[in-house]
């Protein structure tokens, strides 16, 4: 996906300020094939083995923000890849207003400095498949290390060129900057917040630790200088402000 098209998905437009039912109706009329595909995955998996059936079964919606332990959470709870990286706006086009308001909506977030380290090394080691590897080869292969990557690549424009770098609050808002989920779990409190969610939706499950990025040190702080720390603070300022993160808020479990 091109940077401009991806960024458009997260921008406020007149469309997103329309009433909920009107937005969904217009989407259905203007994009019937896309609407049909979104409804189909509520009952059966698509070609990527992604399905939304579990969300209807348990009356919940999980917003999977990249590099926030989402694979571990959704496979532990539902046993499959539910919803991929759909943002909250996508869910509003799939579910009617009554369903959206009634379903328990949750997500996990992560310290922006740590998340950036995780995303960089995840892609450097090949990511999940061909698309990740191709993007890495075209965009990250010239950077010898994380320091060079932050100094030369991390800008307000570039972070929208791939979903792993999009600010976290963008996944959680329909209009304005206020997240519209019912519960925000923190990667730094993963075990406890996972237990709360499983009790809330009525699933007895053990948290599996999957998709571990192995080619990095545990302590993300070791990768930063004062210069690169400030670059991330500036570029991800809204995430840091909204979720009240500080640089030295360390993770408890490496993902």
Pick the range with the lowest mean pLDDT from 3-17, 101-115, 205-219: 3-17
Report field, pTM of the whole predicted structure over 0.95? no
pLDDT computed for residue 9 by the predictor: 65
| Residue 158, pLDDT above cutoff 50 | yes
Quote the DSSP letter at residue 38: H
d(CA 215, CA 119): 12
Return the SS3 of 127.
Answer: coil
**Beta-carbon neighbour count of residue 127 at 10 Å?**
17
d(CA 117, CA 217): 10
pLDDT computed for residue 215 by the predictor: 63
Q: Which residues of 150-178 are buried (b: 16+ CB within 10 A; e: fewer)?
A: beebbeeeebbbbbbbbbbbbbbbbeeee
Residue that has been written with the tokens 């993770």 in this structure: 251
């Amino acid at each position: 996906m091109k940077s401009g098209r991806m960024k458009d998905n997260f921008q406020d437009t007149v469309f997103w300020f329309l009433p909920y039912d009107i937005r969904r109706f217009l989407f259905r009329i203007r994009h019937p094939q896309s609407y049909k595909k979104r409804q189909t995955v509520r009952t059966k998996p698509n070609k990527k083995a992604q399905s939304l059936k579990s969300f209807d079964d348990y009356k919940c919606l999980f917003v999977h923000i990249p590099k926030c332990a989402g694979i571990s959470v959704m496979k532990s709870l539902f046993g499959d890849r539910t919803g991929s990286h759909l943002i909250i706006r996508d869910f509003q086009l799939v579910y009617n207003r009554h369903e959206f308001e009634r379903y328990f909506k949750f997500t996990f977030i992560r310290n922006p400095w740590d998340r950036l380290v995780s995303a960089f090394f995840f892609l450097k080691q090949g990511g999940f498949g061909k698309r990740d590897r191709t993007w890495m080869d075209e965009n990250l292969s010239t950077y010898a290390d994380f320091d060079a990557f932050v100094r030369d690549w991390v800008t307000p424009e570039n972070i929208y060129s791939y979903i792993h770098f999009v600010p976290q609050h963008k996944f959680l808002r329909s209009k304005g900057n206020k997240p519209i989920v019912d519960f925000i779990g923190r990667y730094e409190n993963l075990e406890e917040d996972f237990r709360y969610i499983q009790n809330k939706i009525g699933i007895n499950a053990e948290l599996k630790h999957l998709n571990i990025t192995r080619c990095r040190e545990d302590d993300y702080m070791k990768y930063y200088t004062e210069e690169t720390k400030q670059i991330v603070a500036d570029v991800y300022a809204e995430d840091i402000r909204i979720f009240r993160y500080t640089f030295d808020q360390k993770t408890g479990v490496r993902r």
